[in-house]
Each structure stands twice: as structure tokens, then as C-alpha cells.
Amino acid sequence: MSHYPVYLDLRNRPCFVLGGCGMAEEKVRGLLESKARVTVISQDLTDELTRMAAEGRIDWISRRFRRGDLRNAYLVIVVGQPPAVTDAVWEETRGRNVLVNTLDDVPHCDFIAPSIVRRGDLTVAISTGGKAPVMAVRLRQRLERELGEEHAKFLELAGRVRKPLAQLWPDFATRKELWYRLIDSDVIHLLRRGDEATAINRFEEILGVRPEASA
């Protein structure tokens, strides 16, 4: 099977997690980072999920899954559930445009969840097609060591110059060349060592526009 890589916009989308274990907690964290509206269906929760529910960050249905629970779902993640539950979820969601991921059960998945590295607006997703998730984890750990907050800062500054850069250089090919010159310069190194002022000067020297202060 060849999967099509895609990033979903889950903002305010109703997403469900069946299970309350540590792995379910990890899935919930990822959904919350994507600004989804998360409901957990489980009799028991980890301490952290319990806190999330108490703080109103997630909704908690404190019982086993029942048919009909997913009628408003956009996306469902099933973690550590018996086959009867997995089958019921799969049956309920077919033909309703609901995306389902069942942990370690590729035949009951509309999508597979990659291992993710986030640095601000930079998101790197790594997948092994469900064959060896541990490889994706190790690659993620390597990238986490190599990609620092300087990459997030670079994207923040880049976002501030995109509009004025397009006004100054209407030709796309010209802008593309300038972006490559910038990213191939020492700007990331400057941000890594905390020299934001010089990095901003480098933006202006190469692109011809200066990142304005964020609002």
C-alpha cells in the first residue's frame, strides 16, 4: 500500500480517541496541538488525561464505547481496544467520511499516523507505511536533535517578509532564488547562537526587505 502524505486542518473539528492509556494520551496531545475538539471515550484515564478533562481541555465519556457515539466525528483514533470494539467502530464509520486510525491494526485504518517533529511552524512527519514504527521513532529522535528553535524563529521572520517581498519582487523566480540564497547563508547559524539582530540584518541584505516587528 502506498499512502498519500497530507496534513489535515483539524481546527475545531470533532475528534475522538477510544482509550485512556499512555498511548491514548500521546494521541490526545497531538490532536490538541492541532486545535481539534477532542473527546475521549474510556472508563479509565491516565492522571494527565484526567487533568485535561477537569480543566475542560477535552471532553470525557466515562464508559465503554457504544454504537452511535461517533455520529458527529470527523476523525477517530482507537487505542488498545478489543476486536469487537474495533469492528464496531469500523462498521459505524464506513460511508460517513469519518477518518479512522486503529493503533497497530493497518487493515482498520483510513490513515496511518506519522512520527512528528514540531518546531514552531515547521512540521516534519515520518512514516514507515506501518511496517516498522520504531524506525520512524528513531528518525524522529535524530531530527529532534538536529532541528532546534532557530528553525521556528526563521519561519517566524520569514512570515513577516513574505508580503513585502512579493511587492518588491513580483517575479516568482526571482523571489525563489533570493529565498535559496537566504536559507543557504549563515542565517540559521546566527539564530542558533541567539544573534537575532544580525540574522534580521541578513534578511534585509539578501531579500531587500526587513522583517517588521510582530504585532
Local confidence band at 215 (pLDDT 50, 70, 90 cut-offs):
very low
Local confidence band at 1 (pLDDT 50, 70, 90 cut-offs):
low
Local confidence band at 4 (pLDDT 50, 70, 90 cut-offs):
confident
Q: Does domain 1-113 have CATH number 3.40.50.300?
A: no
Q: What is the C-alpha separation between 133 and 145, in angstroms, rounded?
A: 19
Determine the pLDDT at residue 128. Answer: 87
Q: What is the largest distance, in Å, between two alpha-carbon atoms of the chain?
A: 63
In sequence order, the β-bridge partners of residue 125 are 116
Average of per-residue pLDDT across 42-64: 98
Q: What are the DSSP calls for 129-158, one per residue?
A: TTS-HHHHHHHHHHHHHH--HHHHHHHHHH
Least confident of 1-10, 32-41, 176-185: 1-10
Quick check: 203 and 210 in contact, CB under 8 A?
Answer: yes
What is the chain's mean pLDDT, rounded? 94
Instruction: Tell me: pLDDT of 135 over 70.
Output: yes
**Percent of the chain clearing pLDDT 90 (strictly above):** 87
Local confidence band at 129 (pLDDT 50, 70, 90 cut-offs):
confident
Q: What is the C-alpha separation between 22 and 39, in angstroms, rounded?
A: 16
Quick check: 7 and 31 in contact, CB under 8 A?
Answer: no
Average of per-residue pLDDT across 72-99: 96
Nearest CA to 135 among 108, 114, 111, 106?
114
Q: What sign does the CA torsion over 107, 109, 112, 113 have?
A: negative
Determine the pLDDT at residue 213. Answer: 64
Determine the pLDDT at residue 204. Answer: 97
Radius of gyration over every alpha carbon of the chain, rounded to an integer in angstroms: 21
Average of per-residue pLDDT across 37-61: 98
| H or E element at residue 89 | helix 83-93
What residues contact 52, with CB distance under 8 A and at least 6 apart?
28, 32, 58
Domain 114-147 maps to which CATH number in 3.30.160.110, 2.60.40.10, 3.20.20.70, 1.20.58.220?
Answer: 3.30.160.110
Q: What is the C-alpha separation between 146 and 213, in angstroms, rounded?
A: 28
Distances (CA, A) of 22 to 49, 50, 56, 79: 9, 12, 19, 10
Quick check: 46 and 21 in contact, CB under 8 A?
Answer: yes
Average of per-residue pLDDT across 186-206: 97
Quick check: 206 and 185 in contact, CB under 8 A?
Answer: yes
